[in-house]
Amino acid sequence: MEHYLNIPKNFDKKEELSNLIDNILNVITIDAIFLSMEQREGESPYHILTFFADVNNNPIPNEILGFGTKTAKDHPDFRIKIYTEEQSEIGILRGSLYFLEHCCLGEMVYAHPEGTNLLDYPELAMGNILKRAERYFDLEMKKIKAFVNTAEILLKEGDHAIAAFNLHQAFELAFRFMEQMFIGHSKVTHSIISHINFCKDYFPTLRPFPKTAEMDNNELLLLLEHAYSAARYGNEYEINKGQVQLIQSEFQSFAEQVETIFNRHLEDCRQRIHGDDDDKPAQIFNEVETHIEEQVTIMDEPVDIVLQETVSLIKKKLNPTHIYLMQKRTLQTQDKVHFLRALDVQTCPVHYWLFIVSDKTNIDPIHSVVDTIQQKFQQVSLCICSDAPKVFSKKLNNGNPFYKKVVRSGKLLFQGEGAMDLRTNDDLPKMGTKKTRKTISSRYRRARNYLVVAESPMGDSLMAVHFVSLAVEQACLGLIYGVLKYRPRNHSLSHLIKLCGHLYPKIHDYFPMHTELDKDLFQLLRNASSKMRYQNRDVEIDEIKADILLQRSREFMVDSRAFVQAGQ
| CATH value at residue 364 | 3.30.300.90
Residue 450 and residue 556 in one domain: yes
| Rounded Cα distance, 564 and 568, in Å | 7
**What pLDDT, on a 0 to 100 scale, did the predictor assign at position 195?**
94
* Cβ neighbour number for residue 13 with a 10 Å cutoff: 13
Residue 404 and residue 454 in one domain: no
Residue 112 and residue 138 in one domain: no
| Rounded Cα distance, 550 and 556, in Å | 10
CATH number for the domain that contains residue 166: 1.20.120.330
| Rounded Cα distance, 500 and 554, in Å | 16
Q: Nearest 10 degrees: CA dihedral of 558, 562, 565, 566? A: -170
Residue 79 is assigned to a structural domain of this protein: yes
Q: Nearest 10 degrees: CA dihedral of 298, 301, 303, 305? A: 50
CB distance 131 to 224 below 8 Å: no
Residue 107 and residue 157 in one domain: no
**What pLDDT, on a 0 to 100 scale, did the predictor assign at position 318?**
77
Residue 133 and residue 118 in one domain: no
Burial class (CB in 10 A: 0-12, 13-18, 19+), 177: buried
Looking from the CA of 488 toward its CB, the CA atoms found within 13 Å total 27
Helix/strand/coil (H/E/C) assignment for every residue in 19-30? HHHHHHHCCCCE
Q: Nearest 10 degrees: CA dihedral of 226, 227, 233, 238? A: 90
Residue 145 and residue 257 in one domain: yes
pTM more than 0.85? no
Residue 36 is assigned to a structural domain of this protein: yes
CB distance 66 to 45 below 8 Å: no
Ranges of H-type helices in 421-542: 434-455, 461-484, 493-503, 507-510, 516-533
Instruction: Write down which residue in 61, 95, 124 finishes a domain.
Output: 124
Strand partners, 356: 323, 386
* Strand 107-111, strand 78-83: pairing: unpaired
Residue 171 and residue 228 in one domain: yes
Residue 115 and residue 51 in one domain: yes
DSSP 39: B
Residue 247 is assigned to a structural domain of this protein: yes
Residue 229 is assigned to a structural domain of this protein: yes
CB distance 346 to 105 below 8 Å: no
CB distance 223 to 241 below 8 Å: no
**What pLDDT, on a 0 to 100 scale, did the predictor assign at position 261?**
96
Size of the chain, expressed as the number of residues it contains: 568
Residue 292 is assigned to a structural domain of this protein: no
Residue 480 is assigned to a structural domain of this protein: yes
**What pLDDT, on a 0 to 100 scale, did the predictor assign at position 24?**
92
Instruction: Write down which residue in 89, 124, 159 finishes a domain.
Output: 124
Cα 37 from chain centre: 29
In our burial notation (b when 16+ CB lie closer than 10 A, e otherwise), range 424-439 reads beeeeeebeeeebeeb
Give the domain extent around 465.
433-567
Closest CA to 476 of 507, 454, 450, 452: 507
Ranges of the chain whose pLDDT falls below 50: 1-2, 277-302, 329-350, 425-432
Residue 193 and residue 233 in one domain: yes
Residue 376 and residue 410 in one domain: yes
> How many domains does one find in the chain?
4
Residue 168 is assigned to a structural domain of this protein: yes
**What pLDDT, on a 0 to 100 scale, did the predictor assign at position 370?**
63
Residue 147 and residue 115 in one domain: no
CB distance 224 to 165 below 8 Å: no
**What pLDDT, on a 0 to 100 scale, did the predictor assign at position 104?**
93
Residue 3 is assigned to a structural domain of this protein: no
Residue 27 and residue 86 in one domain: yes
Instruction: Write down which residue in 370, 388, 415 finishes a domain.
Output: 415
